[in-house]
Structure 1
Amino acid sequence: MKKTILIMLMLLAIATGMAAQGERGYLGISLGPSIPIGEFAEQDPDNESAGFADLGAMVDLSLVYRIGKGQYGVTAMVRSQLNPVDEEALFSDVLQEPGISFDTEGGRWGMRTALLGAFGSVAFSDKISFHARVMAGIVGVSSPNVEATVTGPAGTFIVEQSSENASAFGRLYGGGFTFNLGNKIALITNLDYFTATPEFSNVEVSINDIPFSTNQSLSQKVVTVNFSVGLGLKF
């Protein structure tokens, strides 16, 4: 969290400096839904690559700087993204057993992203332009902490998978539209494809009241399609 705040302050400082130089660009904040796809959204408990991710949400702060008077430039972004886990799908094998009931708590994938890249834009008029961007950078991913209280003929016990953190290389491909609302404000829309493959170690799975606990390593391919709407402060 502290790193994210620091990066946001750095972007604000850069934007202030470029504004003094009279350059063209904007500092924008956007939010919207995060839609998992592929293995990340897979909900088959027999598939070891399944991520069980559901529809989530994301918010990002982006800096866009157009080089010279052309239609190309550089861009930077920090993003926070959350995707909850479909716990019923995760424990669907258990639900099929007769006489078994369970209750679950929590469980979500968390991502904190810092990306740099390039963009190009095409103006349709003084008010509307289209932009495309390609970005890459570092992603910090936290795996879901999942806890289930299982009740059956043998009694009640708690199964828990711990949350672990991992870093990975992330890529983003996207585009969108910018609508000028005035001299200083623009409406920004974006649709992007984001992917990363973090590798987690020492993920602990334990069963309370039963002498069973194991540490395992896992790799999860994360792929999401994100749509966002926001406002940009032009400089």
Structure 2
Amino acid sequence: MKRLILALFAIAISASLFAQTSARRGFIGMTLGPSIPVGDFASKYSDNAGGANVGLNISLLNLGYTFGGNLGVTALWFGAAHKVETNGSGMEATWSYGGLMGGGLYTMPITNQLSFDLKAMAGFVSAKLDIDNFGNTTANGAGFDVGAALRYHFTNRLSLLVTGDYFTTKPNFEGTDMRITTININAGIAYRFQ
């Protein structure tokens, strides 16, 4: 009986070690989707109105890596653009911004094919308001992002990536603080690595 228990214990430890070495700890992907402005950034009538319409968000680099468990690090390199509501004035304007962010990642496998991620990041953001016939103005600032993602692993190396993020930054445009706040819903593909 002791030998059987010892043998089962040894098999369980071996299986656990094998599972840890064969598991994919990291991913790198690209996503694309709508960027929905909220708060003053979407407002057309407040004192700090941004007048932004629904825009486009692209994450050129969406990276995550865990340290053998559920905790890890994440990074994001992204850009977005929004046309501005000009109330029929005939003038065209566009908000555009992008940045590089990094932070913490908590990942939880739901099944062998599905993982759920939570992330919180901070980083550098550069923003620009381009108004036709008036030129443009740029500003930089800190940005913050919290989000969640589902990764469906349809092969050993590839995953479908669906993300939802709340993003905010407050760059200083020539003495005016414009709060840019959006909800981004993206989808794309990720490559899984050891």
TM-score (normalizing by structure 1)? 0.69
- The count of aligned residue pairs is 170
Residue type matched to 1:52 in 2? G
Percent identity for Structure 1 against Structure 2: 28
Q: Aligned residue for 2:126? A: 140
Kept after mapping to 2: 8 A contact 1:85/1:144: no
Question: For 1:86-105, what aligned pairs fall within 5 Å after superposition?
Answer: 86-88=85-87, 102-104=89-91
Unpaired runs of at least 5, structure 2: 1-22
1:218 matched to 2:191? The reply is no
Partner of 2:42: 41
Verify the 8 A CA contact 2:24 2:192 in the aligned structure 1: no
Tell me the equivalent position of 2:64.
64
List structure 1 segments (4+ residues) > 4 angstroms apart after TM superposition. none
CA contact (8 A) 1:186 1:232 kept: yes
Q: CA RMSD in A?
A: 1.5
- Counterpart in 2 of 1:163? 136
After TM superposition, give the deviation of residue 223 of structure 1 in Å. Answer: 0.4
Cα distance in structure 2, aligned partners of 1:103 and 1:39? 22
Deviation track 1:118-145 (CA, whole Å, cap 9, x = no partner) reads 1101111101111100000000000131
Q: CA deviation at 1:48?
A: 2.1
Residue 117 to residue 141, structure 1, CA distance change in 2 (3 Å): same
State whether residues 78 and 100 of structure 2, in contact with CA within 8 Å, keep that contact through their aligned partners in structure 1: yes
Pairing 1:30–2:31 present:
yes
The runs of 5 or more residues in structure 1 that have no matched partner are 1-21, 92-101, 148-159, 202-216
Which residue of structure 1 lines up, in the alignment, with residue 105 of structure 2? 119
